[in-house]
Amino acid sequence: MKVLVVDSGGRGHAIAWQFKNDPNVKEVICAPGNAGIALEIRCRNAKKSEEIIDLAKSEKVDLVFIGPESPLTNGIVDLLNSEDMPVVGPVKKASILEGSKAYTKLLCREIGVPVAEFEVFDGPEAAKDYIEYVKYPVVVKADGLAQGKGSIVCTDKQEAHQAVTQLMIEKIFGDAGNKVVIEKRLYGKEISFFVFTDGETIVPMPVAQDYKRAYDNDEGLNTGGMGAYSPHSLEGGELNKLVSEKVARPLIQGFSEKEGIPYKGVLYLGLMLVEETPYLLEANVRLGDPEAEVILPRLKTPMSDISFQIINGVLSEREVEWNQDYYCDVVAAAGRTKQFRNGKSKGWYSGYPARYGKGYPISGIEDINDPDCKIFFAGVSISEKKGLVTDGGRVLHVVGRGRTLQEARAVAYRNIAKIHFEGIRYRTDIGK
């Protein structure tokens, strides 16, 4: 069969690579992809929903897999369904579970899924009054999509006030900050928990630990993720049962009963384990990034089989199998570099997740020939003069494999040390 993967970053590369190694798949196309993905998988520059539909038709693809949240919340699955094209991903109405944090928190409160104490605000003054009223540290979250960076963890009231100002007044994430959720900051073990679901059956994936903060020791601003590893020490049947019974199943069923439609695809649950209670921090309607880069390499069951089981509502008919190797992903990000305009220095870019430069040549990848290392390309493009260059905040995912976490870490760090571009920065404590 022929598969179309809709994505442009490291997660999309991991999905497309998994399909590329699927015995049922003859060809994979990635849209729009990027210059790094194009080194091993055919990429087509289709970005808008209409362009993707036209591409799927012209290529006569047998399956479409949607990677990122934006096309899902914009309704691309609905359009593909109207053309009778098999597609993995929730419809637009179901994508509200990620599209609106307020909707999901209120639904969880209604159906009894554990969430931190919270309130929803559509004006900055009321939000700031609430911050003064509560007696505990809070997290301020943009209601809408903010590229995984819309949750601001605050240690005191001053930081919380500043977060409200940034989201609701300065609009650093645009309309995503028209409304905010302010919730009690929880302390415990934070994990990423993913499930496949056909609307009835849920199949938990392996557990991944990701690292959101920009710098070592969980310091700095929140990012889309600076690295991850899997398996997690908590992984296993006991955790699967706990999260399935307390969070995943009631959320999927509660949504379906409330809205009258099934939730089908991938559901990503960001959890904080406090003693024996899994609190839902966020729900996302797709695979995570960088979690996909360490979970998908563990998949033994063909991705195409799982996809059609989801589409056809028969996910319970076959067990999904995973390998027990360890995978560690270290993200090479765009760090501090000088700004130039018309050949003159104009200060500095502070680096991802703040402003960063682009167009820096990437070298050293050609020196990596380690069979236990895989590079998933995220923010890269091609230059006629410079070759492969940086084109995003998160540039590369360097993934190491090993029999233990320490072996996987050693592979990732040994190989990322060979890679160079101006301003390269990465955390040194992933999996430590």
| pLDDT per 10-residue tile (average), the chain, 432 residues | 98 98 98 98 96 97 97 96 97 97 97 97 96 95 88 93 96 95 95 95 95 94 93 91 96 97 96 95 95 98 98 94 97 93 82 95 96 98 96 98 98 98 98 93
Count of CB atoms within 10 A of residue 161's CB?
17
Of 355, 265, 270, 285, residue with least CA distance to 70: 285
CATH fold of 117-184 reads: Dna Ligase; domain 1 (3.30.1490)
The pTM (predicted TM-score) of the whole model is 0.94
Spatial neighbors of 270 by CB under 8 A, at least 6 apart, are: 190, 192, 193, 280, 281, 282, 283, 284
d(CA 191, CA 195): 13
Helix (H, G, I), strand (E, B) or coil at 421: coil
Q: Is 43 exposed, middle or buried (0-12, 13-18, 19+ CB in 10 A)?
A: buried
Q: Is 292 exposed, middle or buried (0-12, 13-18, 19+ CB in 10 A)?
A: buried
* Residue where the block lists tokens 């130039």: 340
Q: What is the CATH number of domain 326-425?
A: 3.90.600.10
- Enumerate the H helices of 276-422 as residue ranges: 291-295, 303-312, 405-416
Of 3, 93, 82, 91, residue with least CA distance to 42: 3
Helix (H, G, I), strand (E, B) or coil at 156: coil
> In this structure, what token pair is assigned to residue 313?
């509502």
Return residue ranges of the chain for CATH 3.90.600.10. 326-425
Helix (H, G, I), strand (E, B) or coil at 268: strand
- For 214, phi then psi, to 5°, come to -70, -30
Which regions of 114-226 does DSSP assign to beta strands (E)?
118-121, 138-142, 151-153, 180-184, 189-197, 202-204, 209-210, 213-215, 219-222
What per-residue confidence (pLDDT) applies to 343?
72
Selected from 3.10.20.30, 3.90.700.10, 3.30.470.20, 3.40.50.300, the CATH number assigned to the domain covering 188-317 reads 3.30.470.20
What per-residue confidence (pLDDT) applies to 332?
98
Return residue ranges of the chain for CATH 3.40.50.20. 2-91
d(CA 53, CA 41): 19
What per-residue confidence (pLDDT) applies to 217?
95
d(CA 30, CA 47): 11
Q: What is the CATH number of domain 2-91?
A: 3.40.50.20
* Residue where the block lists tokens 């036209």: 54
Of 6, 109, 12, residue with least CA distance to 52: 6
Helix (H, G, I), strand (E, B) or coil at 146: coil
Write out the H or E segment, with its range, that includes residue 10.
Answer: helix 10-20
